[in-house]
Chain A
Amino acid sequence: MNLPNYFLADLPPEATLSPALLGEACLTLKRNREQYLAARSTDQLVRILCEVAREWLRAESPFRRLALTEGPAMTGFPRTTLERGLNHFFQQFTRENFHALLAQDLGDPRCLDGLCPSANEAGCSRSAMAVGPEFLVHVTAGNLPNPTLMSMTLGLLTRSAQFVKCASGASFLPRLFAHSIYDADRKLGACLELAEWRGGQAALEEVLFAEADCITGTGSDETLAAIRARLPLNTRFLGYGHRVSFGFVAGEVLRDGSSRKVVEAAAEDVVAWNQLGCLSPHVIYVQSGGVVSPEQFAESLAEELEKREAAEPRGELSVASGATIAARRGIYEVRAAHSPETRLWQSKGSTAWTVVFEADPRFQASCLHRFVYVKPAKDLTEVLHNADAVRGKISTVGLAAAEDKAAELARQLARWGVTRVCPLGRMQNPPLTWRHDGRPSLGDLVTWMDWEKS
């Protein structure tokens, strides 16, 4: 399939973007939005989004095929990883899920369409309507495509003209997604623009920042601070900084024959998107005292990762990333040779996967690409004590615990500052209604018009 040259990101790499060109693009987007998008209904938009998702899930879809054939070279993710990640993502696009999201974030699924009655307050009858930003700009990080696709989806629901500024080398899948929207409804596609450049090109970014009503940014704290510092006072900024995640396996789930399933779930979280997202675990904490010891768990996890590698190979890495893994393995090899408190399992003849068991319970950031730590813990309290260095930076905790104990553990995690707890094995697969870093993603985009009728 040949994609038409429609978006700025379709231009050949030698084409240079100028501030004037971007300025024009912004005006066109706003005009198109006024004409083609502002008056659409939520139902209509949800229908189109579900159609687009169905297309992506269809084996013969040209977009899907392009994503899977060229994706490995363009994104660095192997075909199986892309397949699994995209399936998980687009399977969420159902009418019910969108309604649940609208209801959760806005109260009434219709309030982007018009005035909806608010709960009556004493002496005042009130209606309200949610209004999306006229022009929404996304500055996206390069690691995973899903957050960018989700941002674009939410922007469509809020009827915003959107400009997606992709990190260099990260526009491939967002571009395909945009084309699939364009294919489903050209007028909607006309309200989207994508471009790719290395961050920090002030002249280009100034144009976007001056035109935008609202900007979402993902990336390192430094990147976000730099964007925020350059925004006009009245421009809203939704920054999603980097987060880390971990797993916790309670001892009781390792007491019966179910431990194999828990190991598989942990491997799933390490393999998903090659562990590169904020929702991927760096460490799996395993409660001591179960029938399976944390060290045995680590060994089983290594076996499982070896199996997964055979079926879904991690793919090639840059020499620099490979060298980082090799250098880290070297350190743990030295430690393991000198102390039983460290053990190392690793793929042979490649850096495809690595499991490090360390008795030291302190949280340890992994170098990712399927490199995971397994650490023992007496209980969740001890885990949280040892993760203090990353408190406030945790996105997700993947939990494997008995049903009757899970709720109490979740409460403990919430009080400590974790914003998402999910079953181990589903860490990289949040629902459409997921509150990104604990905030309502859709709700944060809109402003409200309150009408006090009497």
Chain B
Amino acid sequence: MTSELSHFAARLRTLIADRDWSPVAAPQRGSDGSNLLGVFPVQFPATGDDPHSDAPFNSLALELFALHFEHNAACRKFSEARGVTPRLVSHWSQIPAVPAAAFKELDLTCLPPARRARVFHSSGTTKHRPGRHFHNEESLGVYEASLWSWFKPHVLSDLRSTAADWEPALLVPPPEQAPHSSLVHMFETVRREVGAPPTAFLGSMANDGSWSVNLEAAHRLLQDACHEARPLVLLGAAFSFVHLLDYLAGHGARLQLPAGSRVMETGGYKGRSRSLPKAELHRLITERLGIPSSRIVCEYGMSELSSQAYDRLVGPAGDSPPHPEPPVCNADFRVGACAGWKTGVTDRRCLAGATSSESPDPDNRRFHFPPWARVQVISPETGGEVAEGETGLIRVFDLANVFSVMAIQTEDLGIRRGDGFELIGRAELSEPRGCSLMAV
């Protein structure tokens, strides 16, 4: 039944993996000396014709929608209720976007139950039913190709992509403890790709599902890296960094990690640690780890997607000394979505204050998905795309979601910036059942 999908997956995987997605033009320099996004190839798949042509992506998108319509019953019912069938769609933007929350209620998958080898959950809490994104070997293959092909040029572009003279430090539990986390799977994929040992995982998961960082081991690793002048690539969720930074502060430790070290952080706090505005988190990382803000990359991803967006790239020119005043990034997006966590908790002030005029530097902290995905910022009022600089709900069209559903309507708010977006936060209380009385 899914041979066409398998074929599509294999084709897509090749199209993604057979090409280096590094910037084709020199990265632009931010006012703080950091590397902003370079000029990446946008055409997908690359045909050699007009590099800005949307047509090749569109044709793949329409093909995939037709397959989903045929093989994903939940997706078909949703589209039919909207009165949309593949015959009526000529552009990818017309494909009905399924709310990410629907992953909590429906089996949004083309995989029959027997073939659902893996499942990624959207939430670590037990209070709400988590969203479930089913995978098999083929879909994991696409996920891995997608994540690695976009991670590498953003986080590792100036490093050799095998860890020999540098080391990854993964502030999450190892995969055997957190098999349902898409973020952990992502980090495991990175670990395998760079040839690092499983000991790179510095976290663990408690019985209640909460995550912690093995702080002593992490501290030792940081110290060793300093002594041995070995750059570290630290990957983790924002709250894990808070745990680590608090620990270091408690021990009066202030490290200067070797040049070339960097951080990729993602996601919100969800009460797993105290919440910090993004700029404050980055300031503390600079203060405690000696990593300048220009070498801190934010990632935006979620278990319902197979591709991620990044807000800058760490390049060779980024080895500037720590900036005394790290640039303030977008007000306070303490609820950045992240792979594996759907937080549902939002500070209303951060949303209310989210106007484009408050963004200090429109070029800064702008997220971009890879060329095999498209993003739109949607007006909650009209359902249409907002104008440049306006705020709306982020909608992602991800070709790498081959066996689930391609068009996903998130509950995250962002500001439209060119073909990317600035992240603001999450719409409140979108899950009706069990919502608090405080809604009134």
Interface 9-residue window, one of A16-24, A149-157, A172-180, A320-328:
A320-328
Q: How far is B80's CA from A78's CA once the two chains are assembled, in angstroms?
A: 37
State which of B354, B392, B432 has its C-beta within 8 Å of the C-beta of A331: B432
CB atoms of B81 and A367 under 8 A apart: no
CB atoms of B99 and A323 under 8 A apart: no
Q: Does A291 contact B (CB under 8 A)?
A: no
**Given A324-B429, A326-B393, A337-B81: A349 touches B381 (CB 8 Å cut-off):** yes
CB atoms of A328 and B105 under 8 A apart: no
Q: How far is B100's CA from A323's CA once the two chains are assembled, in angstroms?
A: 14
CB atoms of B74 and A338 under 8 A apart: yes
Q: Does B439 contact A (CB under 8 A)?
A: yes
- CB contacts (< 8 Å) of A327 on chain B: these are 99, 101, 380, 393, 411, 427, 430
Q: Closest Cβ of chain A: how far from B180's Cβ, in Å?
A: 22
Q: Does A442 contact B (CB under 8 A)?
A: no
Over the window 415-440 of chain B, the binary record of Cβ atoms lying under 8 Å from chain A Cβ atoms (1 yes, 0 no) is 00000000000011111110111111
Q: Does A68 contact B (CB under 8 A)?
A: no
CB atoms of B393 and A365 under 8 A apart: no
Over the window 364-391 of chain A, the binary record of Cβ atoms lying under 8 Å from chain B Cβ atoms (1 yes, 0 no) is 1111100000000000000000000010
Q: Considering the complex, give the chain A residue whose CB is closest to the CB of B436.
A: A365
State which of B78, B101, B351, B382 has its C-beta within 8 Å of the C-beta of A320: B351
**Given A323-B380, A334-B99: A242 touches B437 (CB 8 Å cut-off):** yes
- CB contacts (< 8 Å) of A320 on chain B: these are 348, 351-352, 354, 413, 427-428
Q: Closest Cβ of chain A: how far from B331's Cβ, in Å?
A: 13
Over the window 325-369 of chain B, the binary record of Cβ atoms lying under 8 Å from chain A Cβ atoms (1 yes, 0 no) is 000000000000000000000001001101000000000000000
Q: How far is B387's CA from A319's CA once the two chains are assembled, in angstroms?
A: 13
Q: Considering the complex, give the chain B residue whose CB is closest to the CB of A373.
A: B432
Q: Does B244 contact A (CB under 8 A)?
A: no
CB atoms of B393 and A323 under 8 A apart: yes
CB atoms of A338 and B106 under 8 A apart: yes
Q: Does A393 contact B (CB under 8 A)?
A: yes
CB atoms of A334 and B106 under 8 A apart: yes
Q: Does A126 contact B (CB under 8 A)?
A: no
Q: How far is B427's CA from A390's CA once the two chains are assembled, in angstroms?
A: 24
Chain A interface category by residue count: 35 or more
Interface residues of A in 290-330 (CB under 8 A from B): 317-320, 322-328, 330
- CB contacts (< 8 Å) of B391 on chain A: these are 319
State which of A326, A337, A338, A365 has its C-beta within 8 Å of the C-beta of B439: A365
CB atoms of B352 and A318 under 8 A apart: yes
Q: How far is B411's CA from A322's CA once the two chains are assembled, in angstroms?
A: 11
Q: Closest Cβ of chain B: how far from A323's Cβ, in Å?
A: 4
Q: Does A244 contact B (CB under 8 A)?
A: yes
Over the window 400-424 of chain B, the binary record of Cβ atoms lying under 8 Å from chain A Cβ atoms (1 yes, 0 no) is 0000000001010100000000000
- CB contacts (< 8 Å) of B381 on chain A: these are 317, 322, 326, 349-351
Interface residues of B in 90-118 (CB under 8 A from A): 98-99, 101-102, 105-106
- CB contacts (< 8 Å) of A319 on chain B: these are 351, 354, 380, 391-392, 413
Q: Does A220 contact B (CB under 8 A)?
A: yes
CB atoms of B102 and A331 under 8 A apart: yes
Q: How far is B71's CA from A275's CA once the two chains are assembled, in angstroms?
A: 42
- CB contacts (< 8 Å) of B99 on chain A: these are 327, 330-331, 333-334
- CB contacts (< 8 Å) of A393 on chain B: these are 437
Q: Does B324 contact A (CB under 8 A)?
A: no
Q: Considering the complex, give the chain A residue whose CB is closest to the CB of B80.
A: A337
Q: Considering the complex, give the chain B residue whose CB is closest to the CB of A316.
A: B381
**Given A220-B438, A318-B352, A333-B99: A349 touches B78 (CB 8 Å cut-off):** no
Q: Considering the complex, give the chain B residue whose CB is closest to the CB of A349.
A: B382
Q: Does B48 contact A (CB under 8 A)?
A: no
CB atoms of B431 and A326 under 8 A apart: no
Q: Does A278 contact B (CB under 8 A)?
A: yes
Q: Closest Cβ of chain A: how far from B389's Cβ, in Å?
A: 12
- CB contacts (< 8 Å) of B348 on chain A: these are 320
Q: Does A88 contact B (CB under 8 A)?
A: no
- CB contacts (< 8 Å) of A110 on chain B: these are none
Q: How far is B348's CA from A367's CA once the two chains are assembled, in angstroms?
A: 14
Q: Considering the complex, give the chain A residue whose CB is closest to the CB of B393.
A: A323
Q: How far is B439's CA from A368's CA once the two chains are assembled, in angstroms?
A: 9
Q: Does B77 contact A (CB under 8 A)?
A: yes
Q: Considering the complex, give the chain A residue whose CB is closest to the CB of B390.
A: A319
CB atoms of A323 and B439 under 8 A apart: no
Q: Does A336 contact B (CB under 8 A)?
A: yes
CB atoms of B98 and A334 under 8 A apart: yes
Q: Does A260 contact B (CB under 8 A)?
A: no
CB atoms of A242 and B411 under 8 A apart: no
**Given A318-B352, A349-B383: A244 touches B430 (CB 8 Å cut-off):** no
Q: How far is B381's CA from A351's CA once the two chains are assembled, in angstroms?
A: 5
Q: Closest Cβ of chain B: how far from A14's Cβ, in Å?
A: 18
- CB contacts (< 8 Å) of A367 on chain B: these are 428-429, 439
Q: Does A228 contact B (CB under 8 A)?
A: no
Give A residues with C-beta under 8 Å from B: 220, 242-244, 278, 282, 317-320, 322-328, 330-338, 349-351, 362, 364-368, 390, 393
Which 3 pairs show the lowest CB-CB distances between chains A and B?
A327-B430, A330-B99, A337-B81
Given contacts A364-B432, A368-B439, 4 further A-B contacts (CB under 8 A): A326-B427, A330-B101, A331-B105, A336-B81
A-B contact pairs, 13 of them (CB 8 A): A242-B437, A242-B440, A319-B413, A324-B427, A324-B429, A330-B409, A331-B102, A331-B431, A333-B99, A334-B105, A350-B381, A365-B437, A368-B439
Give B residues with C-beta under 8 Å from A: 74, 77-78, 80-82, 98-99, 101-102, 105-106, 348, 351-352, 354, 378-383, 391-393, 409, 411, 413, 427-433, 435-440
